[in-house]
Each structure stands twice: as C-alpha cells, then as structure tokens.
Amino acid sequence: MEVNKNINCANTNSPFSGQGGDLSIIKIGGNIIDDETKLSSFLQNFASVKGKKILVHGGGKLATKLADQMGVQQQMIDGRRITDAETLKIVTMVYAGYINKNIVAQLQANGCNAIGLTGADGNMILAHKRKHVTINYGFVGDIDSVNADLIKSLLDQDIAVVAAPITHDGQGTLLNTNADTIAQEIAKAMGKYYTTALIYSFEKNGVLLNVDDENSVIPVINPAGYAELKSKQLIFAGMIPKLDNAFAALSNGVGRVIIGKAEQLQQLLAGTAGTTIKHE
C-alpha cells in the first residue's frame, strides 16, 4: 500500500535560519551512545552547530551490562528502569561519570568547550521521587524545577552544557530521570531567555507512518493531525510518549520540536529532515 506522506503536512520552513535559533537543545539516544563510531561522528556534528547549545544524553546499554556483571538484577516497566539503591549507584557511575565525561572530552577534542553536569551540580535540576499507585520505581525522579539562570550563565560564556540524566531532590538523594523529559524541561525553562529548538535525535529518520519503512517519514505533525494519526492507529505506540513530550514543550514556549535521525543533525536543525512538530 502506498504511504500517504501528505497527511498532516504544513509549512516546513524553519524559523531558525538553519542553525536552531538562539538555543539548540539536542537529546541524543542511547543507541548512538552504544556505537563508538556513530557517537564520534555525532559529536563532531554537534561541535560544529553554531550558537548556544545544550546536549542531553541517555545512558545506553552500558549500565545494564555493568549491572549484569555485578549481579544486580534489573527490572524494566514500559521501558523505564526500576532504580533500587544498588542500581542508582551503577547508573550514576555510568551516566554521570563515564558517558558524560567521555562526551565532554570528545567535544573538547573537536574544539567545542563543554561542561558536563548532573542535576545536582549547581542545583541545575531539582526533582522528587516518583509516586505511583501500584509501582515502586525506587530512585526515579520527576522534575520540579530547572535552574535556567545557571544554564544561561554558562551558555553566555560560550560553554556548551552536557546534561546527564541524573537529578537530585535537594535532600542529598540522587535520582535517575528520563533524558527525554530532562530535554523537554530544560527547553521549557530556557524559553524565557531564548528562541529554542528542541531536537530529539535517535536511530529513525523521523516519525514514520510505517515503522518498517524508513522512507515513510511524516514531515510535519500538528495537534489536529496527531489526533487523526492516533485515531487511525497510524502512529507506532512507542513513539506516542515522545510526541506527547513534544507537544507539551510547544505548549510551554518552546519554538519548535524536531524528531529525526542523529546522523542528520544539521539537516534537522535546518528543518530539512525528520519530523517537525508544530502548534498548528
């Protein structure tokens, strides 16, 4: 069956002059972090992005591998890691330690001055332990506030911020927090200072009408179109939380949200690749 790519399409002109506007906030998926070659190439591209920029990274598979080696059993519910006390130690070491500092070191090697932070550093992101009626997520954090002034002070010094998916509760406890949500909350918080572009970069070319067809990218999705896609069950279920986050960001001052392939970073910023999420 031929895919109708025109569904929910709108004007695809980017307001960000090909470089993401005043501030580019880019979230990189764990699948890229797991591949040294892809990560190296992505970081070269990120280093070349003009203007102020923030990179939010996930954790990849290294934490799970290390937990297995240490005999710490891992439990996932709907793609979310249950974080007990021992798992918290592991994800902090991996996410805030090795992965974060490896990214920063590679950016420095590419001429991009960067600083790696967790939510605890400079009180950047304050969160609380997730409360759920039936599930005990352990040390998983839901965000309360973002220290936009701290981030702006670093960006104003032409320092790229690299945010690890670890936050804190202000009472001395670290929390494991979803990187997609961190990117969204930072983008919302920084909207009072900058025109922001939020990029979710991962292994797919964008939001697909057919998950098995990389050429079935939907160029633009607006709220009415999103409702239509869901009602017709044309959206892959795993993409719905990311799209919900995207529309939440747009509703809170983010200029534009784009979802697409990490290898096409410059094209995503220019609005010539991936799926653009729009207000209308």
pLDDT tens digits, 197-220 = 999 998 889 998 888 888 899 999
pLDDT-based confidence at residue 77 (cuts at 50, 70, 90):
confident
Q: Are 49 and 269 in contact (CB under 8 A)?
A: yes
Domains contained in the chain, CATH given = 23-277 (3.40.1160.10)
- pLDDT at res. 28: 95
CA distance 152 to 196: 13
User: How many C-beta neighbours within 10 Å does residue 227 have?
Assistant: 11
CA distance 119 to 164: 8
pLDDT-based confidence at residue 280 (cuts at 50, 70, 90):
confident
Cα 53 to chain centroid distance, Å, stands at 13
Burial zone of 262 (CB within 10 Å; 0-12 exposed, 13-18 middle, 19+ buried): buried
The structure tokens listed for 268 are 């995503």
Asked whether the predicted pLDDT for residue 13 surpasses 80, the reply is no
Strand partners, 258: 199, 276
CA distance 280 to 221: 8
- pLDDT at res. 78: 67
